[in-house]
Structure 1
Amino acid sequence: MSSNGSTPEQLEADIARQREALAETVDALHQRLDVKSRARGKAAELKGRATTADGSPRPDLLAGAALAAVLVVALVVWRRRR
């Protein structure tokens, strides 16, 4: 028996729990620091929000993009004529 009253079996079980907790912590840190997979996930999320269920672009976003393009062209033409 050890000096703190723990049996070897209790110490081994405690070490096993600590190893498991450490492994979970390392996995969580790895996931947070894996920039490439986080970027892929964010891109997939944005693509999902920008497309309909069948994968085609959402009409309201197409209309917004077309309006933005028209405004940019109009601004360029207006600035050149000034």
Structure 2
Amino acid sequence: MPEARTPAQIEADIVRRRDQLAETLDEIGVRLHPKTIVGDAKAKVASTVDQTAGRAFVAVNRVVTDVKDGLRHEDGSPRVERIVPVALLAVGLVGLLVVSARRKR
């Protein structure tokens, strides 16, 4: 059978539990404070944006590198047979955009 506790032990237990409860309530108050909630939401959004921007940068960088590699020989010299058609296509698209913009006016 467990030993009987003294009134001083019981009182010390009550004080300890009261302090723990006060700590817990303070922590809940901080977590539920509007500024904390807004700050957490901002941090989460910023993290998501950073991750998305990072992934987009990597993807774009990969595409640009692939295009550059396709327009050069292995020794680094330009592949004229590929550059000329791409340049002509770009000039044609710009020309179409200019004609389209003039017709709208």
TM-score, structure 2 length as denominator? 0.39
Flag the structure with higher helix content.
2
TM-score, structure 1 length as denominator? 0.47
Please say which structure displays the higher CA radius of gyration: 2
